């Protein structure tokens, strides 16, 4: 079963709101447009959770999956590439450099790589665009658009940290999916949904998936 049990319940808890930018787009008849990359790091459940949330919100998603990303999703969650495609609005082959997301003239609201392997991190940090996934990251950076890398590795070597710092200085958001416990999670689902909500925050999508700290109140929270 792996992590499949989570999907039976997650959609019942997803009630999302658009950011002010997203609302403005909706009023003009335009949906938000987000690129979602899935690379070969462990933690493909986060990418799947995000795709499901964005689909519930009717955000236009452009999915690109690396070879290892496909294999890890299958191994960790029992989810096939065809099932991943069904969660996105559009799917682009990782070798297709003619895809619209390979060009800066194709406007999007942002991009997230979730999970982001250290190989993908290194390629993006050094401008090595040997795949559509890394090319789309490169385009997002050069166009000064929002790029979120949900990095999955521990411990981190000096090389990893230097690549992260290099990208952070360019304005890229480095987002290790380290769970918080101030929300007193009771299940794995609680942890996954909280992280999903925090990723949505970085993309400018208002949501109620993340617990919002209000300070200490009676009862300890």
Report residue 200 CA to chain centroid gap: 8
For residues 120 and 66, what is the distance between their CA atoms, to the nearest angstrom? 10
**Inside any domain, residue 99:** yes
Instruction: Quote the pLDDT of residue 13.
Output: 54
Domain that holds residue 49: 33-201
For residues 21 and 17, what is the distance between their CA atoms, to the nearest angstrom? 11
Expressed in angstroms, the distance from the first to the final Cα of the chain is 34
**Inside any domain, residue 65:** yes
Number of domains in the chain: 1
For residues 133 and 36, what is the distance between their CA atoms, to the nearest angstrom? 9
Instruction: Quote the pLDDT of residue 80.
Output: 98
Look at residue 110 and give its three-state secondary structure.
strand
CATH number at residue 99: 3.40.50.1950
**Inside any domain, residue 208:** no
**107, burial (CB in 10 Å: exposed 0-12, middle 13-18, buried 19+):** exposed
Q: What is the pTM of this model?
A: 0.88
Instruction: Quote the pLDDT of residue 208.
Output: 86
**Inside any domain, residue 4:** no
Instruction: Quote the pLDDT of residue 12.
Output: 47
Tokens of 39: 């690379």
Per-residue pLDDT of the chain (221 residues; tens, 9 = 90+): 445 444 444 444 555 454 545 544 454 455 899 999 999 999 999 999 999 999 998 899 999 999 999 999 999 999 999 999 999 999 999 999 999 999 999 999 999 999 999 999 999 999 999 999 999 999 999 999 999 999 999 999 999 999 999 999 999 999 999 998 999 999 999 999 999 999 999 999 988 899 999 888 766 55
Instruction: Quote the pLDDT of residue 148.
Output: 98
**Inside any domain, residue 219:** no
**Inside any domain, residue 77:** yes
**Inside any domain, residue 217:** no
Instruction: Quote the pLDDT of residue 154.
Output: 96
Instruction: Quote the pLDDT of residue 24.
Output: 47
**Inside any domain, residue 28:** no
Instruction: Quote the pLDDT of residue 58.
Output: 87
């Amino acid at each position: 079963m792996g992590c499949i049990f989570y999907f039976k319940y997650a959609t019942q808890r997803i009630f999302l709101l658009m950011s002010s930018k997203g609302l403005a787009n909706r009023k003009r008849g335009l949906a938000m447009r987000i690129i979602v990359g899935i690379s070969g790091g462990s933690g493909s459940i986060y990418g799947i959770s995000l795709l499901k949330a964005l689909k519930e919100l009717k955000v236009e998603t452009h999915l690109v999956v690396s070879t290892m990303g496909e294999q890890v999703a299958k191994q960790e969650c029992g989810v096939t590439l065809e099932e991943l495609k069904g969660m996105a609005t559009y799917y682009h082959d990782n070798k297709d450099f003619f895809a619209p997301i390979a060009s800066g003239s194709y406007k999007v609201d942002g991009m997230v790589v979730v999970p982001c392997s250290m190989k993908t991190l290194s390629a993006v940090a050094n401008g090595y665009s040997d795949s559509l996934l890394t090319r789309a990251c490169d385009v997002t950076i050069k166009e000064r658009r929002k790029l979120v890398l949900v990095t999955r590795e521990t411990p981190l070597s000096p090389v990893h940290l230097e690549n992260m710092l290099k990208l952070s200085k360019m304005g890229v958001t480095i987002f290790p999916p380290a769970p918080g416990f101030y929300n007193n999670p009771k299940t794995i689902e609680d942890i996954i949904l909280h992280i999903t909500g925090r990723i949505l925050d970085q993309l400018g999508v208002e949501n109620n998936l993340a617990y919002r700290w209000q300070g200490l109140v009676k009862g300890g929270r």
